[in-house]
Structure 1
């Protein structure tokens, strides 16, 4: 009871003996025991059965729970997929709506663009019709004046410029009218059986003179065998050829090559025009045949309608046109036309485009120029040869004229000749006017040259950019010849006043001669007399420092000073002349004499000592030069001051 250990004692009762007196009782007990055992077995079997059912029900319960959880998971995934699909579908619907809006907008823009293009074409057509009558009235008198022999050379050159541009304008008007007819479906073919090989040989003859003049190798490759004949509209095929080869000439540099070839295969004529020109970028290739499209939007060299008209003429013949090109590698235009026949005999073709037309389109107006040493030197930089010739004719009575066709050549000419004035176009190939102006103003030998910019653009941003790059003035196209002459004269006059200021104080002690060009820092109210670039100030300051450092060296000459300043003798001469209006020899002598004069009046040195100190070879030569400059000898000055 207390949980303490105790000694167990087991007593096994002694079995009682079986006898007649207890046999029935034992038998009854045995039967009762057997029955109880049977009942226990039966009860055990029921318990086992109940336990099995319990286990089965438990497993079913857990399985049911797992199934329910699984069903909930599946339902969640299905629901999640449904909502994702719904959101995705809504996003697609929204995207489709945006795409439809963009499509409608694009369609609307295309319609507006088409309407604008049609309006543009209609406007050009109406203007072209309106221009034909006055152009006819202008063309004939100008043509007769161009053939007159009682004009001065300048008048004859100006009339030739006018006659050339009248012809170009007439050709452009005809192109616009033809393209309008094609757009309206009213451009018809007038087929005739022609010998294509003979015709193309005649057309090529018109271009050989221009090719020889520009050192361009122009060649024609013809197929061997029978002549190539077919039914074509000869006038339109000629214009196709003219436009393609004219483009090749416009974009091929001098000393390049242009190759024309044609061949026949499977009743189709293939014409190719290949050049070694600038080429066309991959971005522009897909649009090159679109109307009014220009690959070079910065420096356009045409109206943008020529290739569109070529494509229209080719399609009228049932053919195709294509182009292969790469920048700086040239272009190859390929025209394929079906060959058909309407007669067994060919007719002669009338040549509508003459060598004069080719020269009008591709050549500039030439005139002989004479130079006068008393006139200022003017450099004109413009890629348009007619503008070059026009400005030359307007100003050649007052200036010596040299020209360049792009900024790079303009810099080379400016550096070589150091002109007194530069007239430069803004938009040019190779190098534009802005870059050309900037480089000229940064180069020490040309920084002093005034530059007048010519531009067809009236945007203030472009003018600001030009002035930031050092331009001295702007003149908008179209310009008046009188205004141009006045602006040039004004710039030259300003440069002369600057020369007078530079030459006003040439003492070596006053490298401060340059300071007269800038405000006095001690006096904010002071203003510069005329603007001079810092490069010019630095140039003159270096010149004075070199001369002052070696003043006593009588062997110091112009060549040595120019070499120390990193310039050629001719460049150094023109720079000093442009800045001071003195030649370098005269300026060096004036500076030495001025320094010698200061020594005479402020020191007790002998005349010989002063002569050698200022770089004169002998005292006698110093005395002679001093008397020429001041009207009296150094000794006379000393005697006058001594009194």
Structure 2
């Protein structure tokens, strides 16, 4: 019978194994250097393409938002997390050399896209030809001059190139291509200036240049939005009709470069290709060891007023088809999920029926055997009873003999575990002992439970020859938790910081949480505090007992620091005494979870804290942005908290510079002692608004108050609250209050 059971289990295992489809799946880390519509487009293309091929690519995208030091840390974090491949768009040309060398040392392939790096430690490059883009726009400029579209009125045509930062490879390559063609023309006056690659800076340069009385015929900016910024400055001064504006990107959509050419704002643009699906195809070729090109250049062309309508039509058709494909893909995934579920249920049902039939066969065979040996019933019954009694006595004695030394072990271990002086290697050995003692305790409990089952079987089946027993295998099935918490801006997953000196515990927590959150790690309180200040996570899970700085001091400093004071902290520890829990809460902990913990309970607690933070953020935002209507009572209620003090300092800084139209977030951050990233994360967490949105809202509220309570003109008010132009002020005011400033004044 044992042979039959073994054969049956082997057959069932083979059947269930055959039901599982095997797919290659890779973890791909993507490091974006900045944000914007072009990069959002390429991100969406890569995410849409991750399921289109035989091998799947699970994409994890991070963005440094123009912070080169943050990009280095993000790439190092992705490398430490063990991604299979890195896709990188370098912010600057030189700063990534150590990170790329680290990836090469760990045999992690690196694919550069859009921008190149000085380091040669990369596997492949894919992107547009920026030198060719510059050349084509230069040739287009010459054709406009030859065809008479540019009319300099008795002087040489003047061509102005506004480059991006020359430390970035796209700006340098575009400049080299444009300059190589234009400088050969002796009948053209050419000069170039460097911008910070923002429309605001190009607007400022253009306005200053034209106000000085100088003339220009063609302005070439390194992006469409920069060219639009320069156009707005010329239009304000009434000189836009005599100037041709050129850009690069050629994005579709309402504010994209294609529409700007169609509407006559731009005279031309160059479609800088994205092709995220080609990036994913290249990545999978590398990972699957298929042939690939180390340098892939994606060709493109110039968009002019003559061909823009055809290009927009074809682009809209492609977008529409892509949307159809996304819809079809989502439906197919749902259908395939349902199909796989039904197939699994079918296979399990077949195996269950097979096992039931097999069990029925064994039962019939056993009944026949009992009938054949009926004459030996009495003797066998006595022998069975004697055997059961011996087993009962054995399990009883064994359980007590095991429980006694186990008690003598667990008691001292508990005392040692509560000794704060045991640290380092001794603490690790003590943790190993605790884990194994817990396993031994479970085994002893199973022995005792088995003995109770034997006693019950003897009492129930005393009159029978034999009783059939079964051993139930208990499998703890942990269901994957689906995180329903969505950030308000949907730009990225909520960031969780895990601080624990146990590498196995950090790995376990990352396994639990990485599907729903972006997880970063630190091995002690000191490094955790530094990482929390730099990245400003949404929630922290910290151990208590750690070297360098323990969890209590770490939590206290987190809550006292104005940069991190708003972050919820969960203390995860084996210290279960009420006095220890009180100590944790006195140091600022938001939750205290005792080890060993239930994984589902931890995930639910994290989710609840993040949801509570979102609700609190909404209430806090409503109070904070309405600066003119905050009650004295609400102010007193919050004035002693670090978050309250931070918001007061931020409002004071904004009020101090509210009339400065060129106020930058870097300036505010410097005045508050924060980096741009820290300021963004802090303000976003407290108010739900970015610093730029909060600044605009406060400016509009100040303007509303001035409209009601002053005799200043609307133009004077717009400059007073920091808007560069009255027209832009009116547009923002209408969007915020659904009325124009003139309506409020009436």
TM-score (norm 1): 0.41
TM-score (norm 2): 0.35
